[in-house]
Amino acid sequence: MQNLEPYNLWTNLYVAAADRRSPFYGRKYHPYLCSNTIYNYYIHPQWDGIGSETLYIKILYSCYEQRFCVIELLGEWNDCLYNDIMYLKRNIVDQMIDQGIKKFILIGENVLNFHASENDYYQEWFEDIENGWIAILNIRNHVLDEFRTIYIDQYIAMDGPLNHISWRVFTPLHLLREVEKAIKRRLASHFY
């Protein structure tokens, strides 16, 4: 797990620890010392804790003019035992919404498992971003199936083209445009 680093090719464009509006402003990172763990497996020191024992994140990019952010996820998303969505919503998302962020792109390829509970926090998140959206990219099929068991897909755009975006080849703004196109296609298909 310590070899799974957050994506770092956008650091010339954005660093959450240097962004005064970021929940992680001022955070210092040790370049080599791994101190955080997921189930006793050390993870890379660049991942940021959100208060959860099993889910870590990295805000890869935030743009307040375009009102969007890209967040990479790592670990097990466990709402059943640890209420990870509560930590994500209260400790990160609420602060970002207060700064004007309305569009959330979540990178889910390193979410290894999902354990469902209630969908109240997902609904609240969705309702808090009027005229915005939440999209999750590249989640594993078994994780996608678990999301569907409690109908989270009514609050978070997922699957279809969103599960096959090679996001690393894009700049953040280009990625935003690709995700917006996929969401518009998805919405159009629901109305016809």
At residue 189, the pLDDT reads 65
Read off the pLDDT of each residue in 113-133 and give the average, rounded to a whole number. 95
At residue 175, the pLDDT reads 98
Closest to 55 in 3D by CA, of 36, 28, 69, 70: 36
At residue 192, the pLDDT reads 43
Task: Please state, in angstroms and rounded to a whole number, the distance separating the CA atoms of residues 119 and 70.
Answer: 22
Task: Please state, in angstroms and rounded to a whole number, the distance separating the CA atoms of residues 54 and 183.
Answer: 29
With a pLDDT cut of 90, the percent of the chain lying above it is 88
Number of domains into which the chain is organized: 1
Task: Please state, in angstroms and rounded to a whole number, the distance separating the CA atoms of residues 59 and 43.
Answer: 16
Read off the pLDDT of each residue in 15-35 and give the average, rounded to a whole number. 94
Please report whether residue 87 resides in a domain. Answer: yes
Query: Could you tell me whether strands 48-49 and 41-42 are parallel, antiparallel, or unpaired per DSSP bridges?
Result: unpaired
Write the CATH number for 139: 3.30.750.24
- Convert the pLDDT of each residue in 53-86 to its tens digit: 999 999 999 999 999 999 999 999 999 999 999 9
- 96 sits in which H/E element: helix 94-98
Residue 179 pLDDT level (bands cut at 50, 70, 90): very high
3-state secondary structure string across 61-72 = EEECCCCEEEEE
Please report whether residue 11 resides in a domain. Answer: no
Write out the two tokens for 95: 């602060």
Give the contacts of 145 (CB within 8 A, at least 6 positions apart): none
Please report whether residue 132 resides in a domain. Answer: yes
Read off the pLDDT of each residue in 104-129 and give the average, rounded to a whole number. 96
At residue 85, the pLDDT reads 96
Task: Please state, in angstroms and rounded to a whole number, the distance separating the CA atoms of residues 16 and 49.
Answer: 13
Distances (CA, A) of 92 to 26, 50, 56, 71: 15, 7, 11, 10
Contact 62, 49 (CB under 8 A): no
Query: Which residue shows structure tokens 């390193």?
Result: 110
Task: Please state, in angstroms and rounded to a whole number, the distance separating the CA atoms of residues 27 and 17.
Answer: 5
Please report whether residue 177 resides in a domain. Answer: yes
Q: In terms of pTM, does the model score above 0.85? A: yes
Please report whether residue 147 resides in a domain. Answer: yes
At residue 34, the pLDDT reads 87
Please report whether residue 9 resides in a domain. Answer: no
Q: What is the mean pLDDT of the chain?
A: 94
Range of the domain at 151: 16-191
Q: Per-residue pLDDT for 3 more than 70? A: yes
SS3 166: coil
Residue 30 pLDDT level (bands cut at 50, 70, 90): confident
Q: Per-residue pLDDT for 188 more than 70? A: no
Please report whether residue 6 resides in a domain. Answer: no
Please report whether residue 108 resides in a domain. Answer: yes
